């Protein structure tokens, strides 16, 4: 009986795996098509200084509206893009959109001092992808001076020395760097030591849990004072409530970003939003 049950569950397991695999392949081919058809759009989430709450910049976040499945979250398709060498294509389309929309708005460098884009660590590990990135940035003189690149520490950045060379070259050409989701990975401190970083972003899990866990609040305090010692800007992510904002202000955090102040929005709404806050 036990054997039969075991065999049954194994078959079920296989069936489920192949369904997942099929879905993955479908999503991959849809993603390829979406990229050739330029279906990707970008939304912008403002960031604010503390305590005065002035706009210090925006983070550009990619959006994919699938023709039949609706909006597909980046956390689903970015890993797939990374695995199949499509992340440079996404970066290219994000940079194009930012150039068309933000540079065109005339706000960049004035009411919006800076724009941050997310770049997959794989793009720094692969020389051809890195060449493509450099080329794109050189082709975007209206965007590059205000650009900051957010890198999330992942396993792929394990080859830190190789990536560091690439990152140093971009840094020398004036691009700023930020470590995203700071504190969640294993090499945060190594990145801080070895890379020319301007900013760190405290991960949302910390700004959420600091409200009811004193140890987490202590970690946030420590990250802020470490950022101060390294002369880095520190941004807290995922602020959803007034009490988080109050605590971070008391902790002398430099900047905040989150739904409580502003959600990610398309360029038309961003222009309106900036008009209201100015």
- Residues in contact with ligand C2E by CB under 6 A are 45, 61-62, 73-75, 78, 87, 90, 94, 118-120, 150, 152, 180-181, 204, 238-240, 258-259, 264
Contact 209, 184 (CB under 8 A): no
Q: How far apart are CA 55 and CA 113, in angstroms?
A: 8
Among the listed ranges 34-42, 122-130, 181-189, 213-221, the one in contact with Mg ion (CB under 5 A) is 181-189
Q: Which does 240 bind (CB under 5 to 8 A by kind): Mg ion, ligand C2E, none?
A: ligand C2E
Contacts of residue 63, defined as CB under 8 A and 6 or more positions apart, other chains included, come to: 40, 41, 42, 43, 71, 74
Question: Considering CB under 5 A, how many residues would be counted as binding Mg ion?
Answer: 5
Q: Does 233 bind Mg ion (CB under 5 A)?
A: no
Q: Which does 89 bind (CB under 5 to 8 A by kind): ligand C2E, Mg ion, none?
A: none
Q: Which does 264 bind (CB under 5 to 8 A by kind): Mg ion, ligand C2E, none?
A: ligand C2E
Q: How far apart are CA 265 and CA 44, in angstroms?
A: 5
Among the listed ranges 133-141, 232-240, 249-257, 259-267, the one in contact with Mg ion (CB under 5 A) is 232-240
Nearer to ligand C2E, 185 or 238 (CB): 238
Q: How far apart are CA 70 and CA 12, in angstroms?
A: 29
Q: Which of 218, 217, 225 is nearest to 252 (CA)?
A: 225
Contact 202, 218 (CB under 8 A): no
Nearer to ligand C2E, 230 or 259 (CB): 259
Nearer to Mg ion, 2 or 71 (CB): 71
Strands 199-202 and 176-182: parallel
Token pair in block for residue 92: 């290219």
Among the listed ranges 31-39, 47-55, 111-119, 269-277, the one in contact with Mg ion (CB under 5 A) is 111-119
Min dist. Cβ of residue 242 to ligand C2E (A):
13
Q: How far apart are CA 126 and CA 162, in angstroms?
A: 9
Q: Which does 47 bind (CB under 5 to 8 A by kind): Mg ion, ligand C2E, none?
A: none
Among the listed ranges 25-33, 47-55, 149-157, 190-198, the one in contact with Mg ion (CB under 5 A) is 149-157
Q: How far apart are CA 258 and CA 239, in angstroms?
A: 4
Residues for the chain: how many in total? 278
Contact 72, 66 (CB under 8 A): yes
Q: Does 255 bind Mg ion (CB under 5 A)?
A: no
Nearer to ligand C2E, 17 or 78 (CB): 78
- The residues binding Mg ion (CB under 5 A) are 118, 150, 180-181, 237
């Amino acid at each position: 009986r036990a054997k039969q049950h075991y065999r049954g569950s194994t078959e079920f397991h296989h069936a489920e795996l192949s369904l997942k695999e099929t879905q993955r392949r479908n999503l991959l081919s849809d993603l390829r098509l979406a990229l050739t058809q330029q279906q990707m759009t970008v939304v912008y989430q403002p960031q604010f200084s503390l305590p005065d709450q002035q706009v210090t910049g925006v983070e550009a976040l990619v959006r994919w509206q699938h023709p039949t499945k609706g909006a597909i979250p980046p956390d689903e398709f970015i890993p797939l893009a990374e695995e199949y060498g499509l992340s440079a294509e996404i970066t290219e389309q994000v940079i194009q959109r930012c150039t068309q929309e933000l540079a065109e708005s005339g706000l960049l460098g004035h009411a919006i001092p800076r724009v941050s884009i997310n770049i997959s660590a794989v793009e720094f590990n692969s020389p051809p992808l890195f060449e493509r990135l450099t080329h794109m940035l050189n082709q975007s003189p209206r965007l590059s001076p205000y650009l900051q690149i957010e890198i999330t520490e992942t396993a792929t950045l394990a080859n830190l020395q190789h990536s560091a060379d690439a990152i140093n070259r971009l840094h020398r050409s004036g691009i700023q760097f930020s470590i995203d989701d700071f504190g969640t990975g294993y090499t945060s401190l190594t990145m801080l030591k070895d890379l020319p970083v301007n900013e760190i972003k405290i991960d949302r899990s910390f700004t959420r849990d600091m409200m009811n866990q004193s140890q987490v609040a202590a970690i946030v305090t420590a990250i802020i004072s470490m950022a101060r010692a390294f002369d880095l800007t520190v941004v807290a992510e995922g602020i959803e409530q007034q009490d988080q904002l109050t605590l971070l202000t008391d902790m002398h955090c430099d900047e905040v970003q989150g739904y409580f102040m502003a959600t990610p929005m398309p360029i038309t709404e961003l222009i309106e939003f900036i008009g209201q806050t100015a």
